[in-house]
Every structure is written in C-alpha cells, then in structure tokens.
Amino acid sequence: MKKIIYSLVLSLTLSLATTGFSSAESCDDNTAALQPKKFDGLEIAQKYIDYLKEVGTSADGGFMNSPHPFAAKCKKIINGKLVLETDQDFRNQLKDLTKASNGWEVELADKIAGDDGRTCVVRYYLTSKTLGKFTTIAILRFDNSGALKKVNEVYHTMA
C-alpha cells in the first residue's frame, strides 16, 4: 500500500513539474479565492477623491452615513504625525473640518498607482471657503478588500 501511495505521489509530482505547475499555482478553482484580489489603485484613488469632494459639499455633516472608502482600522498620518486610527475617527475629523472651513472644493492634479498593487498616490488642491487653498500629496494604502487602511498626507498652504 505504501508503495502504491508513494508511486502516486511521485507520478503526480512529476506530472506537475512537466506541465509547468508550481506549488504556488492551483489546479483547483476553489483555491483561487485564497489569492489576494487585485485592485486598481487608480480607481481606489478616485474613490478617495470623490469622497473628499462629497464631504466638502456637505458642511452640515450629511456625509456621515454615506459609504466611505476606509477600513475599520484606517490610520491617518498628517505631515508625519499619526492623528487617527479608525474610520469613525476619520469621519469625525472630516466633519469637524467641514464645519470649521465651511466646506471645500477638491481639484485632482495627479493619480499614480504603486508598483506593489496595494498603494496609490494622489496630489490634489483643496480650496476652503474660510481656510484658504492647500496642495496635498496623499499616499493611500489599501487592504485585501480594497478599503483604505492608511492615509499618509503631506499638505502645504498655498499663497
């Protein structure tokens, strides 16, 4: 019995080696679900920009219950300092900011997909009615579901 099992295993191994399958590849469609899903970083970047546009037009906080692009444990870093660690903190911060700024408009300048398939970079201009105009570069990192897990922003006031 051991010889038969050994022979079958050896035969299967040789068969896989000669057909070009590696141990990382799968012959079974069920294991394809275990592979990380591929996302288009540029689409995720656009969702983030669209969300910021929506937030900027609802200074009353009306966006709070609308779908958002953040993972539950989304970190936000602003100019090198960790300021938020959850999606709720993120939305609360945006709500406070829209009230203080009386809303804003966002103009996208650049979208760049990262080589790692989990990062994208956006550069945009945010013009507030009361706080002025800012240029921002944001490095967006997303998880296996396509939700943002980290937003690292560097912004600067424009004259």
Q: Where are the domains of the chain?
A: 2-34, 41-157
Higher pLDDT: 135 or 24? It is 135
**Per-residue pLDDT, 110:** 97
Condensed to tens digits (0 to 9), the pLDDT of residues 47-72 reads 999 999 999 998 777 777 788 899 99
Confidence label for 19 from pLDDT (cuts 50, 70 and 90): very low
Terminal-to-terminal C-alpha distance of the chain: 82
The answer to whether 70 and 148 are in contact (CB under 8 A) is: yes
| Closest to 12 (Cα-Cα) out of 31, 27, 33, 24 | 27
Condensed to tens digits (0 to 9), the pLDDT of residues 97-126 reads 888 899 999 999 999 999 888 999 999 999
Domain 41-157 has CATH 3.10.450.50: yes
Q: State both tokens at 33.
A: 């679900």
Q: State both tokens at 60.
A: 């009353």
Confidence label for 35 from pLDDT (cuts 50, 70 and 90): low
